[in-house]
Structure 1
Amino acid sequence: MLTSQPPVAPAATASAAADAAPLVRFRGVQKTYDGVHLVVRALDLDIRRGEFLTLLGPSGSGKTTTLMMLAGFETPTAGEIVLDGRPITRTPPHKRHFGMVFQNYALFPHMSVGKNVAYPLTVRGVSQVEQATRVARALDMVRLTGMADRLPSQLSGGQQQRVALARALVFEPQLVLMDEPLGALDKQLREHMQIELKELHRQLGVTFVYVTHDQGEALTMSDRVAVFNDGEIQQIDVVDRMYEAPSNRFVAGFIGDSTVLKGTVRAADDERCGIVLVDGRVIAGVNVNQAPVGAAVDACIRPERIVLHAQAAGHRGNLLQATVSGVIYFGDHLRLLCDVGEGQAPATVKLPLATPVVPRTGDAVWLEFPPEFTRVYR
């Protein structure tokens, strides 16, 4: 199980938080619903004060169950959850002082926007005068000033999501927990809301814990990302290191796109190794998991790290001859699919739209990629 690592280039909020004791600690937390299969396995996780932490993973990986245990809607089968030095494993949700935002917004349809936002204050016995002040401030925070008297049905999906966020923030919680809150929005609005959420987090400095299966969403907003699979954290890291230096084959495949070349280790040391591909060609890369000589491995290269050449001469690093098998227009770039030989999936190369000469299907090309960005996994 991997635990927190020091960041390479953290955001200001994460950097300041790293020097303090974690706000939340999961220690040996497990969860099973049937007494046999563990949905969450021996989870050790520190959540730093003021950070934007995203729990990322495929369906059934344990990320949402982890969030629900933190919220208090699920109880761990084993282990302990500690908040600010105090165990909260048996503390009911309403006493945890956390804000919560769901994918379906969970707004009261018969209440106005103002009353929806005021609800957490009402149940806490806050005076009407104080409620009015806090609601106005929360609505202004999410750019909904002047909409307090409207019903949720009179708002767009993005506006309803802002109401849900204002309701989660209005009582000044220690933590804001979000379970795929942008999943119901269209792509353009979702991307706009990602920027707004990140900016709001920067302004408030409140700890955000966010669940998603969308890798782009995680990389866009987070200070750190915890990648879940099969009930375990596979890696937790700052976003640039998560993308550039995945710790295992699952993370490399789940975060971003990769060209994957299959081969066998022919020489290895603590850091680098040489790989013989299926057709006998040789490349070199970073030996991430210390694969021994003779081990079958996958060499993973990000598409943007591959440089296209018309000839082989005069280039350094790994170099493979290939044949263009397809050109795909992606709007902001072109993506070339290249046949790199027997037993290999097509290699992917990203080209800017301004590329002077774009190869055509059937053209012979050379692919160059640095060994330091070729990561080799068992």
Structure 2
Amino acid sequence: MESAQALVTFTGVQKTYDGHTLVVRDLNLEIQKGEFLSLLGPSGSGKTTTLMMLAGFESPTSGEISLNGVPITRTPPHKRNFGMVFQNYALFPHMTVADNIAYPLTVRKLDKNEVDTKVRRALDMVQMGHMGSRFPGQLSGGQQQRVALARALVFDPQLVLMDEPLGALDKQLREHMQIELKALHRRLGVTFVYVTHDQSEALTMSDRVAVFNEGVIQQIDVVDRLYETPANRFVASFVGDNSVLDARVIQNHGETCEVQLADGVHLHGVNVNHAQVGDTVQCSVRPERIALVGTESSSGNRLPASVNDVIYFGDHLRLRCQVPGQPELSVKVPLQHLGHMAAGQTVHLHIPPEHLRIYL
């Protein structure tokens, strides 16, 4: 996409707090109008600092942030006109729900009739039309989160920034709110930038995900490509479950290569980082891509393994398998194998070459 279409552009942005360690390094990022972009990464990876620089609560040490092509690096937060939702909701306890939502409008000195109309619309938007007169203390965590969201949306911002907004909710409510947020985003067409360390949350909700580690975006992509074709070892291990085999490259065919495991088994896979013959590599495959095959199968990319444990997950079985000289391998199999699998038995695994990704 051309940068002319980008709503927000980070150009060469860096941030250090102590003058030595870069929390964010050489960040170049385009956020498109109307997209749901998640910033995903472990604690300390730079994702929240990036959000805070976009909000204006932190200033970049160097580089420039632009909105619609206009630099905003030195624009104070209240003049950026962005909605913000935090994990702790930050609601005023002494004010009713309606007054909490009205707050950004009263600060902007809108007249009372307009305020009332916009507050009613925002309450309906988050399905809380009947709760305007309650106080935050009378609401559940999920309801408080909706009020915080309505307050962030009430003044029609062009950008809504969210920092782990569902982190304090229990699993079931969090999953419910993920679906609601995604539906709300579709309905409104506002640009959402969402910080999370929860990879399943990022995959469920986003149009694109930027994976951060050590202040650098490791990969930014649409969710299915991010999951199916991770760019490096870090992304493969951080996004989704990952089974790993250590190996050495014995033949290089450019886009693909052949590797040998410690026990002599040969496998073919995708040569992601252009490993050369003799390189020590890590072979990565999603557990659901590994299939159980019979001993009579003549397909390549097979390896024998012994089952250490069979775990029942409700909608599938997880086998913990041991291959000689390798870390434990996780294999997801359908429920039809229930009762046929037991610890101690030997199985034959098939890894499709197109799903075995080989990383330096």
Report the TM-score, using the length of structure 2 for normalisation: 0.98
Aligned to 2:248, what secondary structure does the other structure show?
Answer: strand
Which residue of structure 1 aligns with residue 332 of structure 2?
Answer: 350
The answer to whether the 8 A contact 1:227-1:234 is kept is yes
Structure 1: 5+ residue runs without aligned partners? 1-5, 7-17
Which residue of structure 1 aligns with residue 186 of structure 2?
Answer: 202
Which residue of structure 2 aligns with residue 370 of structure 1?
Answer: 352
Deviations along 1:191-240, one digit per CA (max 9) or x if unpaired, are 00000000000000000000000000000000000000000000000000
- Offset, 1:353: 2.5
**Is 1:334 aligned to residue 317 of structure 2?**
yes
Which residue of structure 2 aligns with residue 166 of structure 1?
Answer: 150
Which residue of structure 2 aligns with residue 3 of structure 1?
Answer: none
Name which of 360, 363, 373 aligns with 2:342: 360
Alignment of 1:255-274 (within 5 A): 255-274=239-258
Which residue of structure 2 aligns with residue 15 of structure 1?
Answer: none
Deviations along 1:68-87, one digit per CA (max 9) or x if unpaired, are 00000000000000000100
Letter in 1 for 2:163: D
- Offset, 1:291: 0.5
Distance 1:249 1:168 in 2: 37
The answer to whether the 8 A contact 2:317-2:338 is kept is no
CA RMSD of aligned residues (A): 1.2
Distance 1:147 1:282 in 2: 64
Distance 2:300 2:206 in 1: 33
- Offset, 1:330: 1.8
Distance 2:190 2:332 in 1: 37
The answer to whether the 8 A contact 1:20-1:49 is kept is no
Distance 1:232 1:62 in 2: 7
The answer to whether the 8 A contact 2:247-2:282 is kept is yes
**Is 1:132 aligned to residue 105 of structure 2?**
no
Distance 2:338 2:124 in 1: 48
Change (3 A) 1:33 1:19: closer
Deviations along 1:141-160, one digit per CA (max 9) or x if unpaired, are 00001100000000000000
- Offset, 1:19: 9.6
Letter in 1 for 2:140: S
Structure 2: 5+ residue runs without aligned partners? none
Aligned to 1:168, what secondary structure does the other structure show?
Answer: helix
Number of residue pairs matched? 360
Which residue of structure 1 aligns with residue 216 of structure 2?
Answer: 232
Aligned to 2:78, what secondary structure does the other structure show?
Answer: helix
**Is 1:92 aligned to residue 76 of structure 2?**
yes
Which residue of structure 2 aligns with residue 246 of structure 1?
Answer: 230
- Offset, 1:314: 2.6
The answer to whether the 8 A contact 1:31-1:40 is kept is yes
Which residue of structure 2 aligns with residue 325 of structure 1?
Answer: 308
- Offset, 1:336: 0.5
Percent identical pairs in the alignment equals 67
Which residue of structure 2 aligns with residue 82 of structure 1?
Answer: 66
Report the TM-score, using the length of structure 1 for normalisation: 0.93
Distance 1:346 1:149 in 2: 56
- Offset, 1:315: 4.3
Distance 2:234 2:108 in 1: 44
Letter in 2 for 1:341: P
**Is 1:183 aligned to residue 167 of structure 2?**
yes
Deviations along 1:300-342, one digit per CA (max 9) or x if unpaired, are 0101100112x22234241000111101122322100111112
Which residue of structure 2 aligns with residue 12 of structure 1?
Answer: none
Distance 1:94 1:168 in 2: 13
Letter in 2 for 1:329: Y
Letter in 2 for 1:191: E
**Is 1:290 aligned to residue 274 of structure 2?**
yes
Alignment of 1:99-138 (within 5 A): 99-138=83-122
Distance 1:354 1:192 in 2: 29
Letter in 2 for 1:364: T
Deviations along 1:68-111, one digit per CA (max 9) or x if unpaired, are 00000000000000000100000000000100000000000000
Distance 1:260 1:351 in 2: 17
Aligned to 2:88, what secondary structure does the other structure show?
Answer: coil
Which residue of structure 2 aligns with residue 13 of structure 1?
Answer: none
The answer to whether the 8 A contact 1:287-1:377 is kept is yes
